C-alpha cells in the first residue's frame, strides 16, 4: 500500500465505513429473504471491514509523532482475517460498559484466543460445503436464522459505533491535518498515549508469547488512567446507541 497523509486516512476510513454500511444493508435484505447463510457471510464481512478504521486512526496518530510507519505491516494487518476479527473483539470490549472489569477481561482474552477462531470457522461454514458431523453439509444447514440474526445485529451495532466515532472525529478536527494535530497534541492526549505506548511497546515483537501478550492486555486495560477513560468513552457510546434505538425508524440513522 502507498503511504498516506493524515487527511487521506480520514478519506479511506470514510470509504471503508460506506462499504461496511452497504454490506450491512445487503445482509439485511438476505435475512428478509431467508438466505441466512449468506446474510451471515455479509454481516461478518462488514464486521471485518469495521476493524479497519481504528488502524487508520492509529496511523494518523503515528504520523503526528513523526515516527516511521511500516506500511507493509499496516497492509498485512488490514488484510489478515484473524487480526481483523480479534481487532473487532477488542474494540467491542473497550466500548462496552463493564460492571466487573477483571472478570470481563478474562472473557475478552477467551474471545481473543478461541472465540476468534470459531468466528472465522463459521465464516467459512457460511460460504462452503464441508464435512460436519460425519457428512457433507451445505452452509444453509449449518448457519441458523438465530446465528445469522445475531451476527447482523453485531454488525449493525459496530457500524453505529464506528459512524458515531468518525462523525465526532471529523467534527472536532474539521477533517484536516491541522485540526487533528491540535487534538492529539493536547497534554491530556499526549499523557494518555505515553502511558499506553509504555505498556504496549513490545506488542509487535515477533518473539512475544501468548502469555506475555495477555499480560500486556491486562496491564493496559487495568491501568487506572486508561480504564477511567475507556469507562467514560463506553458510557458515552452506550448512551448514543440507546438514543438512536429510541428514535422512530424514519428518524434513525439509515
Render pLDDT for 151-187 as a digit per residue (tens, 0 to 9): 999 999 999 989 988 998 999 999 999 999 999 888 8
Render pLDDT for 76-115 as a digit per residue (tens, 0 to 9): 989 999 889 988 888 888 777 777 777 777 878 877 778 8
**Dist. CA 195–CA 225, nearest whole Å:** 8
Q: Domains in the chain and their CATH numbers?
A: 6-182 (1.20.120.330)
Q: Which residue has the cell 480479534?
A: 86
Burial class (CB in 10 A: 0-12, 13-18, 19+), 7: middle
Confidence of residue 250 (pLDDT cuts 50, 70, 90): low
Helix (H, G, I), strand (E, B) or coil at 135: strand
Q: What percent of the chain has pLDDT over 70?
A: 85
CA 240 to mean position of chain CA atoms? 17
CA 90 to mean position of chain CA atoms? 7
pLDDT at 244 (0 to 100) = 64
pLDDT at 201 (0 to 100) = 58
Across 60-150, the runs of DSSP E, i.e. the strands, are 130-132, 135-137
Residue 243 in contact with residue 160, Cβ under 8 Å?
Answer: no
**Dist. CA 207–CA 98, nearest whole Å:** 32
Helix axis angle for 145-173 and 6-32, nearest 10°, is 150
Render pLDDT for 4-51 as a digit per residue (tens, 0 to 9): 999 999 999 999 999 999 999 999 999 999 999 999 999 999 999 999
The mean pLDDT of 221-230, rounded to a whole number, is: 73
**Dist. CA 14–CA 53, nearest whole Å:** 8
* Best CA proximity match to 45, nearest among 197, 155, 138, 139: 155
**Dist. CA 157–CA 20, nearest whole Å:** 12
The mean pLDDT of 55-64, rounded to a whole number, is: 92
pLDDT at 199 (0 to 100) = 59
pLDDT at 202 exceeding the cut of 60: no
Amino acid at each position: 500500500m502507498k503511504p498516506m497523509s493524515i487527511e487521506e486516512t480520514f478519506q479511506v476510513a470514510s470509504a471503508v465505513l460506506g462499504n461496511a454500511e452497504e454490506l450491512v444493508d445487503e445482509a439485511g435484505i438476505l435475512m428478509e429473504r431467508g438466505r441466512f447463510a449468506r446474510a451471515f457471510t455479509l454481516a461478518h464481512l462488514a464486521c471485518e471491514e469495521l476493524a479497519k478504521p481504528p488502524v487508520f486512526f492509529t496511523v494518523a496518530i503515528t504520523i503526528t509523532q513523526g515516527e516511521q510507519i511500516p506500511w507493509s505491516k499496516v497492509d498485512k494487518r488490514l488484510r489478515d482475517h484473524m487480526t481483523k476479527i480479534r481487532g473487532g473483539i477488542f474494540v467491542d470490549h473497550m466500548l462496552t460498559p463493564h460492571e466487573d472489569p477483571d472478570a470481563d477481561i478474562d472473557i475478552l482474552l477467551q474471545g481473543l484466543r478461541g472465540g476468534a477462531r470459531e468466528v472465522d470457522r463459521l465464516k467459512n461454514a457460511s460460504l462452503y460445503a464441508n464435512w460436519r458431523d460425519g457428512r457433507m453439509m451445505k452452509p444453509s444447514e449449518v448457519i441458523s436464522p438465530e446465528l445469522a440474526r445475531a451476527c447482523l445485529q453485531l454488525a449493525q451495532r459496530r457500524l453505529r459505533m464506528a459512524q458515531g466515532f468518525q462523525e465526532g472525529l471529523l467534527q472536532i478536527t474539521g477533517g484536516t491535518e491541522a485540526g487533528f494535530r491540535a487534538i492529539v497534541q493536547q497534554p491530556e492526549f499526549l499523557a494518555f498515549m505515553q502511558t499506553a505506548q509504555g505498556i504496549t511497546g513490545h506488542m509487535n515483537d515477533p518473539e512475544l508469547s501468548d502469555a506475555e501478550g495477555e499480560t500486556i492486555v491486562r496491564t493496559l486495560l487495568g491501568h487506572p488512567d486508561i480504564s477511567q477513560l475507556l469507562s467514560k468513552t463506553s458510557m458515552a457510546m452506550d448512551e448514543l446507541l440507546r438514543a438512536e434505538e429510541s428514535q422512530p425508524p424514519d428518524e434513525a440513522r439509515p
